[in-house]
Structure 1
Protein backbone atom coordinates (compact mmCIF):
# COMPACT_ATOMS: atom_id res chain seq x y z
CA UNK A 1 0.00 0.00 0.00
CA UNK A 2 2.82 2.41 0.85
CA UNK A 3 4.43 1.81 -2.56
CA UNK A 4 1.19 2.76 -4.32
CA UNK A 5 1.11 6.03 -2.38
CA UNK A 6 4.67 6.81 -3.47
CA UNK A 7 3.89 6.01 -7.11
CA UNK A 8 0.82 8.27 -7.06
CA UNK A 9 2.80 11.11 -5.46
CA UNK A 10 5.58 10.76 -8.05
CA UNK A 11 3.02 10.77 -10.88
CA UNK A 12 1.35 13.92 -9.53
CA UNK A 13 4.68 15.71 -9.14
CA UNK A 14 5.76 14.68 -12.67
CA UNK A 15 2.46 15.91 -14.14
CA UNK A 16 2.81 19.23 -12.32
CA UNK A 17 6.40 19.62 -13.55
CA UNK A 18 5.30 18.87 -17.13
CA UNK A 19 2.43 21.38 -17.02
CA UNK A 20 4.64 24.06 -15.45
CA UNK A 21 7.44 23.48 -17.99
CA UNK A 22 4.96 23.66 -20.87
CA UNK A 23 3.71 26.99 -19.52
CA UNK A 24 7.29 28.34 -19.43
CA UNK A 25 8.21 27.49 -23.03
CA UNK A 26 6.89 29.13 -26.16
CA UNK A 27 4.01 31.45 -26.86
CA UNK A 28 1.10 31.46 -24.43
CA UNK A 29 -2.37 32.83 -25.10
CA UNK A 30 -2.92 35.95 -23.00
CA UNK A 31 -6.05 35.41 -20.90
CA UNK A 32 -6.51 38.28 -18.44
CA UNK A 33 -9.17 36.57 -16.33
CA UNK A 34 -7.05 33.46 -15.74
CA UNK A 35 -4.03 35.68 -15.10
CA UNK A 36 -5.96 37.68 -12.49
CA UNK A 37 -7.20 34.53 -10.75
CA UNK A 38 -3.69 33.05 -10.73
CA UNK A 39 -2.27 36.29 -9.32
CA UNK A 40 -4.83 36.43 -6.50
CA UNK A 41 -4.40 32.74 -5.58
CA UNK A 42 -0.59 32.97 -5.46
CA UNK A 43 -0.78 36.22 -3.46
CA UNK A 44 -3.21 34.80 -0.89
CA UNK A 45 -1.28 31.56 -0.40
CA UNK A 46 2.02 33.46 -0.17
CA UNK A 47 0.57 35.90 2.35
CA UNK A 48 -0.82 33.07 4.46
CA UNK A 49 2.56 31.33 4.50
CA UNK A 50 4.28 34.59 5.38
CA UNK A 51 1.93 35.32 8.27
CA UNK A 52 2.18 31.74 9.51
CA UNK A 53 5.96 32.05 9.75
CA UNK A 54 5.95 35.28 11.78
CA UNK A 55 6.34 33.20 14.94
CA UNK A 56 9.35 31.37 13.44
CA UNK A 57 11.97 34.14 13.07
CA UNK A 58 14.43 32.23 10.90
CA UNK A 59 11.70 30.98 8.56
CA UNK A 60 10.22 34.50 8.45
CA UNK A 61 13.57 35.99 7.41
CA UNK A 62 13.87 33.22 4.82
CA UNK A 63 10.37 34.11 3.58
CA UNK A 64 11.26 37.79 3.25
CA UNK A 65 14.45 36.94 1.35
CA UNK A 66 12.54 34.53 -0.88
CA UNK A 67 9.86 37.11 -1.61
CA UNK A 68 12.52 39.68 -2.49
CA UNK A 69 14.25 37.24 -4.85
CA UNK A 70 10.88 36.35 -6.40
CA UNK A 71 10.08 40.03 -6.99
CA UNK A 72 13.48 40.64 -8.57
CA UNK A 73 13.05 37.62 -10.85
CA UNK A 74 9.54 38.79 -11.82
CA UNK A 75 10.85 42.26 -12.67
CA UNK A 76 13.61 40.82 -14.82
CA UNK A 77 11.20 38.31 -16.37
CA UNK A 78 8.66 40.93 -17.38
CA UNK A 79 11.38 43.02 -19.02
CA UNK A 80 12.12 40.13 -21.38
CA UNK A 81 8.47 39.25 -22.11
CA UNK A 82 7.17 39.96 -25.60
CA UNK A 83 3.62 40.23 -26.92
CA UNK A 84 2.25 39.34 -30.33
CA UNK A 85 -1.20 39.71 -31.84
CA UNK A 86 -2.47 36.74 -33.84
CA UNK A 87 -5.85 37.41 -35.35
CA UNK A 88 -8.02 38.68 -32.53
CA UNK A 89 -5.99 37.11 -29.71
CA UNK A 90 -2.87 38.29 -27.93
CA UNK A 91 -0.01 35.94 -27.07
CA UNK A 92 3.01 36.44 -24.87
CA UNK A 93 6.35 34.71 -24.59
CA UNK A 94 8.09 34.80 -21.24
CA UNK A 95 11.71 34.08 -20.42
CA UNK A 96 11.88 30.27 -20.16
CA UNK A 97 15.06 30.35 -18.09
CA UNK A 98 13.56 32.36 -15.24
CA UNK A 99 10.38 30.31 -15.10
CA UNK A 100 12.42 27.12 -15.35
CA UNK A 101 14.69 28.12 -12.48
CA UNK A 102 11.75 29.04 -10.24
CA UNK A 103 10.00 25.77 -11.09
CA UNK A 104 13.15 23.69 -10.58
CA UNK A 105 13.81 25.29 -7.18
CA UNK A 106 10.29 24.61 -5.98
CA UNK A 107 9.91 21.06 -7.25
CA UNK A 108 13.49 20.10 -6.38
CA UNK A 109 12.95 21.16 -2.80
CA UNK A 110 9.54 19.48 -2.70
CA UNK A 111 10.94 16.19 -3.97
CA UNK A 112 13.79 16.41 -1.45
CA UNK A 113 11.34 16.96 1.43
CA UNK A 114 9.22 13.98 0.37
CA UNK A 115 12.35 11.86 0.12
CA UNK A 116 13.42 12.92 3.63
CA UNK A 117 9.94 12.21 5.05
CA UNK A 118 9.77 8.73 3.55
CA UNK A 119 13.33 7.81 4.48
CA UNK A 120 12.68 9.02 8.04
CA UNK A 121 9.46 6.99 8.14
CA UNK A 122 11.23 3.86 6.95
CA UNK A 123 14.06 4.35 9.41
CA UNK A 124 11.75 4.95 12.39
CA UNK A 125 9.32 2.19 11.47
CA UNK A 126 6.51 4.50 10.36
CA UNK A 127 6.14 6.32 13.72
CA UNK A 128 7.60 9.56 12.38
CA UNK A 129 5.13 9.72 9.50
CA UNK A 130 2.18 8.99 11.78
CA UNK A 131 3.23 11.73 14.20
CA UNK A 132 3.77 14.29 11.46
CA UNK A 133 1.43 17.17 10.90
CA UNK A 134 1.35 16.70 7.11
CA UNK A 135 2.37 19.79 5.13
CA UNK A 136 2.93 22.01 8.17
CA UNK A 137 5.48 19.58 9.58
CA UNK A 138 7.06 19.29 6.15
CA UNK A 139 7.47 23.06 6.06
CA UNK A 140 8.95 23.52 9.53
CA UNK A 141 11.17 20.48 9.98
CA UNK A 142 14.69 20.38 8.68
CA UNK A 143 16.33 23.48 7.32
CA UNK A 144 14.66 26.86 7.43
CA UNK A 145 15.32 27.71 3.80
CA UNK A 146 12.38 25.59 2.64
CA UNK A 147 10.03 28.48 3.37
CA UNK A 148 12.19 30.90 1.39
CA UNK A 149 12.31 28.64 -1.66
CA UNK A 150 8.55 28.27 -1.63
CA UNK A 151 8.13 32.02 -1.19
CA UNK A 152 10.29 32.66 -4.29
CA UNK A 153 7.71 30.81 -6.37
CA UNK A 154 4.65 32.50 -4.85
CA UNK A 155 6.15 36.00 -5.04
CA UNK A 156 7.43 35.46 -8.58
CA UNK A 157 4.15 34.23 -10.03
CA UNK A 158 1.97 36.76 -8.20
CA UNK A 159 4.20 39.68 -9.22
CA UNK A 160 4.76 38.39 -12.76
CA UNK A 161 1.01 38.05 -13.38
CA UNK A 162 0.40 41.56 -12.04
CA UNK A 163 3.21 43.06 -14.13
CA UNK A 164 2.07 41.14 -17.21
CA UNK A 165 -1.45 42.53 -16.90
CA UNK A 166 -0.09 46.06 -16.45
CA UNK A 167 2.34 45.73 -19.37
CA UNK A 168 -0.37 44.46 -21.69
CA UNK A 169 -2.71 47.28 -20.63
CA UNK A 170 -0.04 49.92 -21.25
CA UNK A 171 0.70 48.44 -24.67
CA UNK A 172 -3.02 48.56 -25.55
CA UNK A 173 -3.12 52.24 -24.63
CA UNK A 174 0.02 52.96 -26.65
CA UNK A 175 -1.32 51.00 -29.64
CA UNK A 176 -4.63 52.88 -29.57
CA UNK A 177 -2.71 56.15 -29.67
CA UNK A 178 -0.85 54.92 -32.75
CA UNK A 179 2.58 54.92 -31.11
CA UNK A 180 2.87 51.37 -29.91
CA UNK A 181 5.05 48.46 -30.64
CA UNK A 182 3.84 45.11 -29.48
CA UNK A 183 7.05 43.60 -28.28
CA UNK A 184 9.52 44.97 -25.82
Structure 2
Protein backbone atom coordinates (compact mmCIF):
# COMPACT_ATOMS: atom_id res chain seq x y z
CA UNK A 1 0.00 0.00 0.00
CA UNK A 2 1.44 3.43 -0.86
CA UNK A 3 2.69 5.42 2.12
CA UNK A 4 0.03 8.14 1.75
CA UNK A 5 -2.99 5.89 1.16
CA UNK A 6 -5.93 6.36 3.47
CA UNK A 7 -7.92 3.59 5.04
CA UNK A 8 -11.38 3.97 3.43
CA UNK A 9 -14.13 5.09 5.82
CA UNK A 10 -16.19 2.06 4.80
CA UNK A 11 -13.34 -0.23 5.91
CA UNK A 12 -13.08 1.61 9.23
CA UNK A 13 -16.86 1.28 9.71
CA UNK A 14 -16.75 -2.43 8.85
CA UNK A 15 -13.90 -3.10 11.25
CA UNK A 16 -15.67 -1.04 13.91
CA UNK A 17 -18.87 -3.05 13.51
CA UNK A 18 -16.94 -6.31 13.70
CA UNK A 19 -15.22 -5.16 16.89
CA UNK A 20 -18.52 -3.98 18.39
CA UNK A 21 -20.15 -7.34 17.63
CA UNK A 22 -17.25 -9.28 19.19
CA UNK A 23 -17.29 -7.07 22.29
CA UNK A 24 -21.03 -7.55 22.68
CA UNK A 25 -20.80 -11.33 22.38
CA UNK A 26 -17.79 -11.52 24.72
CA UNK A 27 -19.38 -9.31 27.38
CA UNK A 28 -22.67 -11.18 27.12
CA UNK A 29 -20.77 -14.41 27.77
CA UNK A 30 -18.85 -12.93 30.69
CA UNK A 31 -21.82 -11.72 32.69
CA UNK A 32 -23.94 -14.84 32.80
CA UNK A 33 -23.99 -18.40 33.93
CA UNK A 34 -21.95 -20.65 31.67
CA UNK A 35 -21.92 -24.36 31.08
CA UNK A 36 -18.45 -25.77 31.70
CA UNK A 37 -16.98 -27.15 28.47
CA UNK A 38 -13.78 -29.09 29.06
CA UNK A 39 -12.64 -28.87 25.44
CA UNK A 40 -12.81 -25.07 25.47
CA UNK A 41 -10.91 -24.91 28.76
CA UNK A 42 -8.21 -27.30 27.54
CA UNK A 43 -7.80 -25.38 24.28
CA UNK A 44 -7.33 -22.14 26.23
CA UNK A 45 -4.90 -23.86 28.58
CA UNK A 46 -2.80 -25.19 25.71
CA UNK A 47 -3.00 -22.51 23.02
CA UNK A 48 -2.71 -19.32 25.09
CA UNK A 49 0.53 -20.24 26.91
CA UNK A 50 1.88 -21.49 23.60
CA UNK A 51 1.14 -18.11 22.03
CA UNK A 52 2.78 -16.37 25.00
CA UNK A 53 5.88 -18.56 24.58
CA UNK A 54 6.08 -17.77 20.87
CA UNK A 55 5.80 -14.06 21.63
CA UNK A 56 8.52 -14.31 24.28
CA UNK A 57 10.80 -16.14 21.86
CA UNK A 58 10.19 -13.44 19.26
CA UNK A 59 11.06 -10.80 21.84
CA UNK A 60 14.27 -12.49 22.97
CA UNK A 61 16.35 -9.83 21.21
CA UNK A 62 14.33 -7.07 22.93
CA UNK A 63 14.69 -7.71 26.69
CA UNK A 64 12.71 -4.63 27.72
CA UNK A 65 9.72 -5.62 25.59
CA UNK A 66 9.99 -9.20 26.85
CA UNK A 67 10.01 -7.91 30.43
CA UNK A 68 6.86 -5.87 29.76
CA UNK A 69 5.15 -8.98 28.38
CA UNK A 70 6.24 -10.99 31.45
CA UNK A 71 4.82 -8.30 33.76
CA UNK A 72 1.55 -8.48 31.84
CA UNK A 73 1.55 -12.27 32.17
CA UNK A 74 2.04 -11.97 35.91
CA UNK A 75 -0.74 -9.42 36.24
CA UNK A 76 -3.09 -11.63 34.22
CA UNK A 77 -2.35 -14.66 36.39
CA UNK A 78 -3.05 -12.66 39.55
CA UNK A 79 -6.28 -11.26 38.12
CA UNK A 80 -7.39 -14.77 37.13
CA UNK A 81 -6.77 -16.02 40.66
CA UNK A 82 -8.90 -13.17 41.98
CA UNK A 83 -11.56 -13.91 39.37
CA UNK A 84 -11.62 -17.60 40.27
CA UNK A 85 -12.06 -16.76 43.95
CA UNK A 86 -15.09 -14.65 43.03
CA UNK A 87 -16.58 -17.12 40.54
CA UNK A 88 -19.74 -18.94 41.56
CA UNK A 89 -19.51 -22.67 40.78
CA UNK A 90 -22.55 -24.96 40.49
CA UNK A 91 -22.98 -28.70 40.17
CA UNK A 92 -26.42 -29.57 38.82
CA UNK A 93 -28.03 -32.65 37.29
CA UNK A 94 -27.68 -30.85 33.92
CA UNK A 95 -23.91 -30.53 34.35
CA UNK A 96 -21.28 -28.19 35.69
CA UNK A 97 -21.91 -24.46 35.56
CA UNK A 98 -20.01 -21.39 36.64
CA UNK A 99 -20.74 -17.70 36.75
CA UNK A 100 -17.55 -15.69 36.30
CA UNK A 101 -16.85 -12.48 38.14
CA UNK A 102 -17.99 -10.14 35.38
CA UNK A 103 -16.07 -6.99 36.28
CA UNK A 104 -12.59 -8.40 35.67
CA UNK A 105 -13.39 -10.05 32.34
CA UNK A 106 -15.30 -7.02 31.08
CA UNK A 107 -12.52 -4.65 32.14
CA UNK A 108 -9.89 -6.72 30.33
CA UNK A 109 -12.03 -6.98 27.20
CA UNK A 110 -12.67 -3.23 27.19
CA UNK A 111 -8.96 -2.55 27.70
CA UNK A 112 -8.09 -4.59 24.63
CA UNK A 113 -10.92 -2.98 22.68
CA UNK A 114 -9.75 0.51 23.60
CA UNK A 115 -6.26 -0.36 22.39
CA UNK A 116 -7.54 -1.69 19.06
CA UNK A 117 -9.84 1.31 18.56
CA UNK A 118 -6.94 3.64 19.36
CA UNK A 119 -4.81 1.85 16.77
CA UNK A 120 -7.56 2.07 14.14
CA UNK A 121 -7.89 5.80 14.83
CA UNK A 122 -4.12 6.14 14.40
CA UNK A 123 -4.29 4.35 11.06
CA UNK A 124 -7.09 6.62 9.93
CA UNK A 125 -5.52 9.93 10.97
CA UNK A 126 -1.90 8.94 10.34
CA UNK A 127 -2.02 7.06 7.04
CA UNK A 128 1.79 6.86 6.90
CA UNK A 129 1.50 4.11 9.53
CA UNK A 130 0.01 1.86 6.83
CA UNK A 131 3.46 1.71 5.23
CA UNK A 132 5.00 0.22 8.39
CA UNK A 133 5.41 -3.50 8.87
CA UNK A 134 2.41 -5.35 10.33
CA UNK A 135 4.35 -6.29 13.46
CA UNK A 136 4.73 -2.61 14.39
CA UNK A 137 1.52 -2.78 16.44
CA UNK A 138 2.81 -5.64 18.57
CA UNK A 139 6.08 -3.85 19.32
CA UNK A 140 4.33 -1.32 21.53
CA UNK A 141 4.96 -1.94 25.26
CA UNK A 142 1.35 -1.04 26.04
CA UNK A 143 0.07 -3.62 23.57
CA UNK A 144 2.46 -6.24 24.94
CA UNK A 145 1.31 -5.53 28.51
CA UNK A 146 -2.37 -5.84 27.56
CA UNK A 147 -1.79 -8.95 25.47
CA UNK A 148 0.24 -10.62 28.22
CA UNK A 149 -2.45 -9.83 30.77
CA UNK A 150 -5.19 -11.31 28.58
CA UNK A 151 -3.21 -14.43 27.66
CA UNK A 152 -2.35 -15.24 31.26
CA UNK A 153 -5.79 -14.36 32.59
CA UNK A 154 -7.67 -16.70 30.26
CA UNK A 155 -5.09 -19.50 30.52
CA UNK A 156 -5.01 -19.37 34.33
CA UNK A 157 -8.79 -19.10 34.51
CA UNK A 158 -9.11 -22.17 32.28
CA UNK A 159 -6.69 -24.05 34.55
CA UNK A 160 -8.82 -23.11 37.56
CA UNK A 161 -11.97 -24.36 35.82
CA UNK A 162 -10.30 -27.67 34.94
CA UNK A 163 -9.08 -28.13 38.53
CA UNK A 164 -12.56 -27.37 39.86
CA UNK A 165 -14.21 -29.85 37.46
CA UNK A 166 -11.73 -32.55 38.46
CA UNK A 167 -12.29 -31.92 42.16
CA UNK A 168 -16.05 -32.19 41.65
CA UNK A 169 -15.64 -35.43 39.69
CA UNK A 170 -13.59 -36.95 42.56
CA UNK A 171 -16.08 -35.92 45.23
CA UNK A 172 -18.51 -38.76 46.00
CA UNK A 173 -22.19 -38.01 45.45
CA UNK A 174 -24.45 -38.02 48.53
TM over 0.5: yes
Is 1:75 the counterpart of 2:81? The answer is yes
1:108-119, aligned counterparts within 5 Å?
108-119=114-125
Cα RMSD between the aligned structures?
A: 1.7
Preserved CA contact (<8 Å) 1:84 1:90 = yes
Aligned position for 1:139: 138
Stretches of structure 2 that go unaligned for 5 or more consecutive residues are 1-6
* C-alpha separation in 2, matches of 1:42 and 1:108: 21
Aligned-pair distance for 1:39? 2.4
Helix, strand or coil: the match of 1:90? strand
1:71-119 Cα offsets, whole Å, 9 max, x none, are: 0001111111222234332111110011111111211112112212222
| Alignment check: 8 A CA contact 1:43 1:158 kept | yes
Q: Gaps (5+ residues) in structure 1?
A: 122-126, 179-184
Question: 1:59–1:145: 8 Å Cα contact kept in structure 2?
Answer: no
1:103 aligns with 2:100: no
Say whether the 8 Å CA contact 2:48–2:155 is kept in structure 1. yes
In the aligned structure 2, how far is the partner of 1:166 from the partner of 1:85?
14
- Name the SS of the counterpart of 1:55 in structure 2: coil
Deviates more, 1:40-49 or 1:159-168: 40-49
Q: How far has the Cα of 1:177 moved from its partner?
A: 6.2
1:124 maps to none
Count of residue pairs the alignment pairs up: 168
Matches within 5 A, 1:38-117: 38-117=44-123
**Does the residue aligned with 1:85 lie in a helix, a strand or coil?**
strand
| Inter-partner Cα distance in structure 2 for 1:88 and 1:163 | 21
What do the CA deviations read for 1:145-173 (whole angstroms, capped 9, x no partner)? Answer: 22011110011001110111111211221
Q: Of the two structures, which has the highest relative contact order with CA contacts closer than 8 Å and spacing of 6 or more?
A: 2
Find the aligned partners of 1:110 and 1:78 in 2 and give their Cα distance. 27
Q: 1:155 aligns with which of 152, 155, 159?
A: 152
TM-score, scaled to structure 1: 0.84
